[in-house]
Amino acid sequence: MSLPPAWFDPAEATGLLIPFAIYYALHDALVKPMPGNAMAPSLAESWSASPDGLTYEFVLRQGVRFHNGDPLTADDVKFSFERYRGVSAKVLKERHPEASADAGIHLARSRFLL
């Protein structure tokens, strides 16, 4: 069995179910659904949302490293957010053209403005 290269890149998510099994095995997210919990901590140890649901702040888990040993930082989260071109990217950009990720808060925090 061969896999399309795009299936290894969550920024190119097509919305098909099969690639998500690959993403889940190879990549991690700030939060993710787990049994009995619609959104559970993962790379983020905690998060908060503004009352209007347009600003989200994530506190990154300490000690997380990439496969090459580099630490995970808010700059990495910002890069991934800005790089996303998957199935929902068009809707996100149409509904929230001002959406951005701010890594300047602190190396261990990342804020998303929708």
User: pLDDT (tens digit, 9 = 90+) per residue, 84-97?
Assistant: 777 777 887 888 77
14-18, 24-28, 79-83: the lowest-pLDDT one: 14-18
Q: What pLDDT was estimated at residue 16?
A: 58
Structure tokens at 44: 């983020």
Structure tokens at 11: 């920024």
pLDDT at 11 over 80: no
Structure tokens at 90: 């068009």
Which residues lie across from 112 on neighbouring strands?
Answer: 56, 101
Its pTM surpasses 0.85: no
* Angle subtended at Cα 110 by Cα 105 and Cα 113, rounded to the nearest 5 degrees: 95
Nearest to 108 by CA among 80, 73, 65: 73
